[in-house]
Chains A and B, each alone.
Chain A
Amino acid sequence: MSLAQKYPNEVNQIMAKYPPEHKRSAVMPLLYLAQREEGYVTKDALKDIAQMLDITETDVASIVGFYSLYHDHKAGKYRMQVCTDLPCALRGADKFLADLCGNLGIQVGETTADGLITIEAVTCLAACDKAPMFQTQGPDGIKYHENMTVDKTLELIEALKSAGKEVK
């Protein structure tokens, strides 16, 4: 099913915001819509958006690739995106990331066995002064977690786990 068939009202609303000659500008909200359900933009959705906006798939993929908030592959329920840019690295982000991965028994980019957490390294989340820091992207939206330690992070993961159970 195409995006327009799946979310007719929202697609129309988004498209109405931009003049027809600048419809390519609708790419960001459409991508956001496309990954709402699966947590990533599928190949079909990519094609769909390109066609709707009369731009190439490569163009759309470039945008997905540029932003750390868009994804082109499936991941765990929560993406934990650790900023490892230079200022964060100076405040120990690299070590934090390595230790966290060690504790969870996974590599950067991998997902925990229970499918709950995917660890990703990203660049610049604009909170250098509070590094090590990361953002979580999940069903409850995007959240910043600053001045983090591995212990605090493991606590957070436990909380996310039990929160998941309660919902069940």
Chain B
Amino acid sequence: MTKQLTLTIDGVQVTVPEGTLVVDAAKMAGIDIPVFCYHPKMEPAGNCRMCLVEVGRPVIDRATGQAVMENGQPKIQFMPKLETACTNTVSEGMVVLTQTEKVTEGRKGTLEFLLTSHPLDCPICDKGGECPLQNLTVEHGPGKSRFLYDEKQHLAKHVPLGELIWLDRERCIQCARCIRFQDEIVGEAVLGFEARGRMTQIISLSEPGFDSVFSGNTSDICPVGALTTADFRFGARPWELKASASICSQCPVGCNTTFNTRREAKAGGEIVIKRVMPRQNEEVNEIWMCDKGRFAYHYAESAQRLVKPTVRQAKASWTDAFDLVTQTFEASKSDVVVLASGRLSNEDLFNLKSLADGLGGKSILYTDMGGGNLTAQVGVGQGTDLGKLGKGDTILVVASDLYEEAPVWYLRVKQAADRGATLIVANSRHTKLERFARYAIRYANGDEVKTVADLQGDSKIAQEFANAQNAVVFFGSDGLGLNGSANLAAACAKLLQDTKHVGKANNGLIGVWQRANDQGAWEMGFRPEADLASAFKNKIVYIVGADPAGDDPALALALKGARFIVVQDILETLTTHMADVVLPAQAYTEREGTYTSGERRVQRFYAAVPVHGEAKADFAIAGEIGRRLGLNTENGSAMVTFDRLAASVKDFAGLDTNKLAEVKPQWPIVGRGDLYYGGTTYENKQGLGVQLSTAAERGEAVSLPEVRAESALRPREDQLLAVPVTKLYDRGQTVASTELLTQRIGEPTVSLHPETAKRLGVAAGGRVSLAFNGLSAEALVKIDDTISAGVVLVPRSMGLAVREPVSVQVLGLAEAKVS
């Protein structure tokens, strides 16, 4: 255990671990030392001088090594000048004074300097009302400046660092929190300082500007209004905003978030979401979130929202729609196939599963990734916190590009590697996480399973994995389809089981799923189906939260074979166009429910805005249909549904709303009163969620499937193989309707090996035509010399339907793309 040291701050005795900074020790004791540049998540910089305090240390007699005593007390020698509380670590017997006249003068002076050229445009500043500079000036400032008003520096006030983040140079106080966040925490140094002294300015030269998917976080930790998001800029005043707790629905990380809402004239007096902010959960997303989660929520406000049921494409009442659906289901019973996606909540999926089971029909999970039955057995144990992994621990990331698929996991894994954890990144190509890996393994497409199997050998990497104190494996579907990823999952599960890294906290398997609640869908008993066309043939298909027809023309064709189609979704899609009955569902911003994250943490989200039109919650629609069919399904309350779910799904046993709402003190301290310290991130008052236990830790028998030697097709000499990869900003329904992201979504772009490109006569930025699965499409070309010459990387959800590795014909197109 770390040595504990005792010091006195303003007369209060504080005992803290060795190495603690004075500013943090004070915070722990409830004493606020004002800071601007210091942030508890980052290394101290000591450049704003706001935290100056008086520091005294006991005088030690050199001869005896003992403290010199004076009047029965250790003699304290104070430093002649003020010291920065953010760069000094505590020492035994230290005396810190934060309220003396000298300190007060120091703070006044620092603020007077910081404000020499600050525009003081608080009345029009987005940060006004939640601004550390504003708050600390009121509390500690001189009230008056001796500097000449006319000699104020005037700088550019509307500088786009990229299209997502704007910089106001006049407001910037050069604390470098944003630069350090990008450099230290993210590992993408796309922000920097230019020039010196009074001329110091933030710059970003990346292409596109501020090229990082974490850019929004810099506006949260900016202690002034210098960095604002294009989404919220001049959008509202912080004090007008209400806060509703939510869980991000974009990926399986399950970041805790807050929706800030207000009533708005522009929206006809309706309550609308003005911004999405992270909500602290140190075991999930800490105080961060990615830009997709922050900006893509606009899909719920899309003009494509379904607001009224339709029957045979004509507007209908809910009664008529329910009647027709119920009659059809009643008449067909076991011919009903429920196809649902992980976009839905646990409650939705539970009711849908109950409905399918009640009818004797089939329930299919709409995904191209397998392995969820394994994460329930050998997933990470209760109490898992990636933030605790470090020296002696090992993390394997295989067939996943975490940066694009689950950005906050990328951040957490990268930081675990920074703390000394052994990171093994295995993929068929370069990914951003590789830079932080101790071992980067590049396998040939088709060698995924062999690569994982080889980690059980005598090699140094294998030994390191086997001997790791804790080991976590992330597996994904990079370059793989349903069968490939399921087989890879089996190989990873075997590796963990054989090396005894299962059944305990910080050990086990994590699926990097394609949708936020895929894990929950597996828990509810949904299973994917490789051959959807056969599954649809002559059936009554009930599609919920999925757009198979829009995703893949082959699936649109397959749907034509269905006898009757019911589609329940929030947006109009190609699939709703094919439906006999369309049921409008509520967006997750309009209702409550729970999701199960990839780490199998069950977390609750709440309604933030009023319901669009006549939409109903998915669980309620399924529940109502069930009731009409004589099943005892809940159709009113999401949390009653959750209670039923907890009573019937074994791994959820004992869970209830109280357990989900439990909180505990978290570090760093954030929240409204402490926003100068931790940023504008919201404090978590609504619950940290509950991690499910795995079969392995309950001591139950674990049955793992046989691992097949081959998991995916390999490129052959005479052909190119198209392999799917995931892109963060894609044309998926839940992203594309956010205009702000259009530029980042871009055009469909495939990656080619330089040799392949040369052979096809195309260069980067050129165009190719692709023919696969009887389809053809065009795409832009990107060159990637880390991939095999036999493969073409095709991004998912960008209009090129590659659901698993497939042979492809590629032709270079002469016409060069003019951008």
Residues of A within 8 A of B (CB): 46, 55-59, 61-62, 64-66, 123
Contacts and interface: CB of A to CB of B under 8 A. Distances in A.
A121 to B, nearest CB: 10
Contact of A58 (B195, B197, B205): B205
Nearest to A67: B196
B15 interface: no
Interface in B490-519: none
A46 B203 CA distance: 14
A61 to B, nearest CB: 5
B163 to A, nearest CB: 17
Contacts of A46: 205
B205 A61 contact: yes
B196 A66 contact: yes
A123 B191 CA distance: 23
A59 B191 CA distance: 8
B206 A56 contact: yes
B231 to A, nearest CB: 23
B811 interface: no
A62 B197 contact: no
Contact of B190 (A56, A64, A65, A66): A56
A59 B203 CA distance: 9
A62 B193 contact: yes
A58 B192 contact: yes
Interface string B65-105: 00000000000000000000000000000000000000000
B196 A61 contact: no
Interface of B: 188-197, 203-206
A118 to B, nearest CB: 17
15 contacts: A55-B189, A57-B206, A58-B192, A58-B204, A58-B205, A59-B189, A61-B203, A61-B205, A62-B193, A65-B192, A65-B194, A65-B195, A65-B203, A66-B196, A123-B196
A59 B192 contact: yes
A69 B193 CA distance: 16
A86 B204 CA distance: 30
The 3 closest A-B pairs by CB, nearest first: A65-B194, A62-B192, A57-B205
Contacts of A57: 205-206
A131 to B, nearest CB: 17
A58 B196 contact: no
Contacts of B203: 58, 61-62, 65
A113 B203 CA distance: 31
Contacts of B190: 56, 58
A56 B193 contact: no
Of A46, A55, A57, A64, most B-chain CB atoms within 10 Å: A57
B197 A123 contact: yes
B565 to A, nearest CB: 50
A61 B197 contact: no
Contacts of B195: 65-66
Contacts of B205: 46, 56-58, 61
B210 to A, nearest CB: 9
Contacts of A59: 189, 192
Given A56-B205, A56-B206, A123-B197, A61 B192 contact: yes
B193 A65 contact: yes
A5 B194 CA distance: 28
A34 B191 CA distance: 22
Contacts of B206: 56-58
B238 to A, nearest CB: 30
Contacts of B197: 123
Nearest to A46: B205
Contacts of A58: 189-192, 203-206
Contacts of A56: 188-190, 192, 205-206
Contacts of A64: 194
Nearest to B194: A65
Contacts of B192: 56, 58-59, 61-62, 65
A79 to B, nearest CB: 16
A123 B190 CA distance: 26
Max count, chain A CB within 10 A of own CB: residue among B188, B197, B205: B205
Given A56-B188, A66-B194, A123-B197, 16 more contacts: A46-B205, A56-B192, A58-B189, A58-B190, A58-B191, A58-B203, A58-B204, A58-B205, A59-B189, A61-B192, A61-B205, A62-B192, A65-B192, A65-B194, A66-B195, A123-B196
Contacts of B189: 55-56, 58-59
A93 to B, nearest CB: 15
A59 B179 CA distance: 10
Contacts of B204: 58
Nearest to B197: A123
Nearest to A66: B196
A62 B188 contact: no
A47 B456 CA distance: 42
Nearest to A55: B189
Nearest to B435: A54
B187 to A, nearest CB: 11
B174 to A, nearest CB: 13
A57 B192 CA distance: 9
A123 B199 CA distance: 10
Contacts of A62: 192-194, 203
B440 to A, nearest CB: 14
A65 B204 CA distance: 12
Nearest to B195: A65
A57 B210 CA distance: 12
Nearest to A122: B196
B188 A66 contact: no
A153 to B, nearest CB: 24
A55 B187 CA distance: 11
Contacts of B193: 62, 65-66
Nearest to A43: B205
A107 to B, nearest CB: 16
A109 to B, nearest CB: 12
A67 to B, nearest CB: 9
B194 A61 contact: yes
Nearest to A63: B192
Nearest to A47: B205
A32 B191 CA distance: 23
A64 B188 CA distance: 19
B564 to A, nearest CB: 56
A46 B659 CA distance: 55
A57 B190 CA distance: 8
A55 B190 CA distance: 9
Nearest to A50: B205
A123 B200 CA distance: 12
Counting chain B CB atoms within 10 Å of each CB, the highest count among A46, A61, A64 belongs to A61
A66 B199 CA distance: 10
Nearest to B188: A56
